[in-house]
Amino acid sequence: MDSMWLVWLGAALVAGLLELTSMSFVFVMLAGGALAAALVAAVGAGLPFQAIVFASTSAVLIFAVRPGVKRWAARNAPYVPTNVDALRGSRARTLSEVDHRGGTVKLAGETWSARTSDEGTVIPADQPVDVARIDGATAVVVPARRQDSPPPLPEAPWTEP
Protein backbone atom coordinates (compact mmCIF):
# COMPACT_ATOMS: atom_id res chain seq x y z
CA MET A 1 0.00 0.00 0.00
CA ASP A 2 1.55 3.31 -1.11
CA SER A 3 -0.05 5.34 1.65
CA MET A 4 1.21 3.22 4.56
CA TRP A 5 3.54 6.02 5.57
CA LEU A 6 0.43 8.10 6.34
CA VAL A 7 -0.84 5.39 8.68
CA TRP A 8 2.49 5.42 10.54
CA LEU A 9 2.40 9.22 10.63
CA GLY A 10 -1.11 9.08 12.10
CA ALA A 11 0.08 6.54 14.70
CA ALA A 12 2.93 8.89 15.63
CA LEU A 13 0.48 11.76 16.02
CA VAL A 14 -1.84 9.70 18.23
CA ALA A 15 1.11 8.55 20.36
CA GLY A 16 2.27 12.16 20.68
CA LEU A 17 -1.17 13.25 21.85
CA LEU A 18 -1.30 10.39 24.37
CA GLU A 19 2.08 11.49 25.69
CA LEU A 20 0.63 14.91 26.47
CA THR A 21 -1.84 13.26 28.85
CA SER A 22 0.57 10.82 30.50
CA MET A 23 3.95 12.63 30.55
CA SER A 24 5.63 9.26 31.07
CA PHE A 25 7.93 9.53 28.05
CA VAL A 26 6.74 6.15 26.74
CA PHE A 27 4.33 7.31 24.06
CA VAL A 28 6.81 9.83 22.69
CA MET A 29 9.29 6.98 22.24
CA LEU A 30 6.60 4.98 20.41
CA ALA A 31 5.94 8.06 18.29
CA GLY A 32 9.64 8.08 17.38
CA GLY A 33 9.37 4.44 16.32
CA ALA A 34 6.30 5.23 14.24
CA LEU A 35 8.11 8.11 12.54
CA ALA A 36 11.02 5.80 11.68
CA ALA A 37 8.53 3.28 10.25
CA ALA A 38 6.86 6.06 8.26
CA LEU A 39 10.23 6.96 6.80
CA VAL A 40 10.98 3.42 5.61
CA ALA A 41 7.40 3.08 4.32
CA ALA A 42 7.85 6.29 2.32
CA VAL A 43 10.90 4.84 0.55
CA GLY A 44 8.93 1.72 -0.37
CA ALA A 45 9.87 -0.93 2.22
CA GLY A 46 7.38 -3.71 2.88
CA LEU A 47 5.09 -3.95 5.90
CA PRO A 48 7.15 -6.64 7.72
CA PHE A 49 10.27 -4.43 7.50
CA GLN A 50 8.25 -1.40 8.65
CA ALA A 51 7.04 -3.34 11.71
CA ILE A 52 10.61 -4.43 12.52
CA VAL A 53 11.85 -0.85 12.23
CA PHE A 54 9.00 0.37 14.43
CA ALA A 55 9.62 -2.27 17.12
CA SER A 56 13.40 -1.97 17.18
CA THR A 57 13.45 1.84 17.10
CA SER A 58 10.82 2.05 19.84
CA ALA A 59 12.72 -0.46 22.01
CA VAL A 60 16.00 1.41 21.63
CA LEU A 61 14.32 4.72 22.47
CA ILE A 62 12.49 3.28 25.50
CA PHE A 63 15.48 1.48 26.99
CA ALA A 64 18.33 3.79 25.98
CA VAL A 65 16.90 7.30 25.68
CA ARG A 66 13.92 7.39 28.07
CA PRO A 67 15.91 6.98 31.35
CA GLY A 68 18.07 9.99 30.53
CA VAL A 69 15.07 12.07 29.50
CA LYS A 70 13.29 11.16 32.75
CA ARG A 71 16.33 12.18 34.83
CA TRP A 72 16.57 15.46 32.94
CA ALA A 73 12.86 16.18 33.45
CA ALA A 74 13.02 15.35 37.17
CA ARG A 75 16.08 17.54 37.63
CA ASN A 76 14.49 20.52 35.89
CA ALA A 77 10.96 20.27 37.31
CA PRO A 78 10.16 22.56 40.22
CA TYR A 79 9.50 20.85 43.55
CA VAL A 80 5.85 21.21 44.52
CA PRO A 81 5.06 19.68 47.91
CA THR A 82 1.93 17.56 48.03
CA ASN A 83 0.00 15.58 50.63
CA VAL A 84 1.52 15.82 54.11
CA ASP A 85 4.67 17.50 52.75
CA ALA A 86 2.49 20.47 51.81
CA LEU A 87 1.32 20.80 55.44
CA ARG A 88 4.81 21.36 56.85
CA GLY A 89 5.16 25.01 57.76
CA SER A 90 1.37 25.52 57.83
CA ARG A 91 -0.43 27.45 60.52
CA ALA A 92 -2.83 25.54 62.78
CA ARG A 93 -4.83 26.30 65.93
CA THR A 94 -4.80 24.17 69.04
CA LEU A 95 -8.17 22.69 70.02
CA SER A 96 -6.86 21.31 73.30
CA GLU A 97 -3.66 21.70 75.28
CA VAL A 98 -0.75 20.24 73.32
CA ASP A 99 2.40 18.86 74.94
CA HIS A 100 4.96 16.18 74.06
CA ARG A 101 2.42 13.43 74.86
CA GLY A 102 -0.42 14.72 72.71
CA GLY A 103 -3.28 17.07 72.02
CA THR A 104 -5.39 18.16 69.05
CA VAL A 105 -5.15 20.92 66.49
CA LYS A 106 -7.29 22.23 63.64
CA LEU A 107 -5.11 21.94 60.54
CA ALA A 108 -6.30 22.58 56.98
CA GLY A 109 -9.91 22.41 58.14
CA GLU A 110 -9.48 19.02 59.83
CA THR A 111 -8.87 17.87 63.38
CA TRP A 112 -5.43 16.30 63.79
CA SER A 113 -3.72 14.68 66.73
CA ALA A 114 -0.70 16.74 67.66
CA ARG A 115 2.30 16.86 69.94
CA THR A 116 5.24 19.15 70.57
CA SER A 117 8.75 18.06 69.66
CA ASP A 118 10.22 18.63 73.12
CA GLU A 119 9.05 17.78 76.64
CA GLY A 120 9.27 21.28 78.06
CA THR A 121 6.81 22.93 75.69
CA VAL A 122 3.11 23.10 76.57
CA ILE A 123 0.81 25.05 74.27
CA PRO A 124 -2.60 26.02 75.68
CA ALA A 125 -5.87 25.56 73.79
CA ASP A 126 -6.92 28.12 71.14
CA GLN A 127 -3.37 29.20 70.29
CA PRO A 128 -1.80 29.45 66.83
CA VAL A 129 0.96 26.94 66.11
CA ASP A 130 3.21 26.12 63.18
CA VAL A 131 3.50 22.59 61.88
CA ALA A 132 7.15 21.47 62.04
CA ARG A 133 6.51 18.06 60.45
CA ILE A 134 4.00 15.25 60.18
CA ASP A 135 4.75 11.92 61.91
CA GLY A 136 2.24 9.39 60.59
CA ALA A 137 -1.13 10.90 61.50
CA THR A 138 0.28 13.28 64.14
CA ALA A 139 1.26 16.87 63.54
CA VAL A 140 4.40 17.90 65.38
CA VAL A 141 3.87 21.55 66.24
CA VAL A 142 5.81 24.48 67.64
CA PRO A 143 4.50 27.77 69.02
CA ALA A 144 3.65 30.17 66.20
CA ARG A 145 6.21 32.73 65.17
CA ARG A 146 5.20 36.32 64.73
CA GLN A 147 2.53 36.89 62.08
CA ASP A 148 4.84 38.98 59.90
CA SER A 149 7.47 36.22 59.49
CA PRO A 150 6.68 33.75 56.75
CA PRO A 151 6.79 30.02 57.49
CA PRO A 152 9.89 28.22 56.27
CA LEU A 153 9.74 26.62 52.85
CA PRO A 154 9.60 22.82 52.93
CA GLU A 155 12.73 21.02 51.81
CA ALA A 156 12.58 18.92 48.67
CA PRO A 157 12.94 15.23 49.41
CA TRP A 158 16.20 13.67 48.32
CA THR A 159 15.88 11.94 44.98
CA GLU A 160 18.42 9.76 43.29
CA PRO A 161 19.57 11.17 39.93
Would 49 be classed as within a structural domain? yes
Would 159 be classed as within a structural domain? no
pLDDT at 73 over 90: no
Residues 36, 59, single domain; the answer is yes
Dump pLDDT digits (tens) for 85-114: 888 888 999 999 999 999 999 998 899 999
Q: Quote the DSSP letter at residue 123.
A: B
% of the chain exceeding 70 in pLDDT: 89
Residues 33, 94, single domain; the answer is no
Which pLDDT score is estimated for 148?
56
| SS3 letters across 31-92 | HHHHHHHHHHHHCCCCHHHHHHHHHHHHHHHHHHHHHHHHHHHHHHCCCCCCHHHHHCCCEE
Q: What is the overall mean pLDDT for the chain?
A: 88
Residues 59, 87, single domain; the answer is no
Cα separation, 131 vs 116, in Å, equals 10
Residues 72, 87, single domain; the answer is no
Cα separation, 104 vs 120, in Å, equals 17
Q: Could you tell me which residue, 41 or 145, shows the higher pLDDT?
A: 41
Dump pLDDT digits (tens) for 109-140: 899 999 998 888 899 999 999 999 999 889 99
Dump pLDDT digits (tens) for 1-16: 688 999 999 999 999 9
Residues 44, 104, single domain; the answer is no
Which pLDDT score is estimated for 2?
81
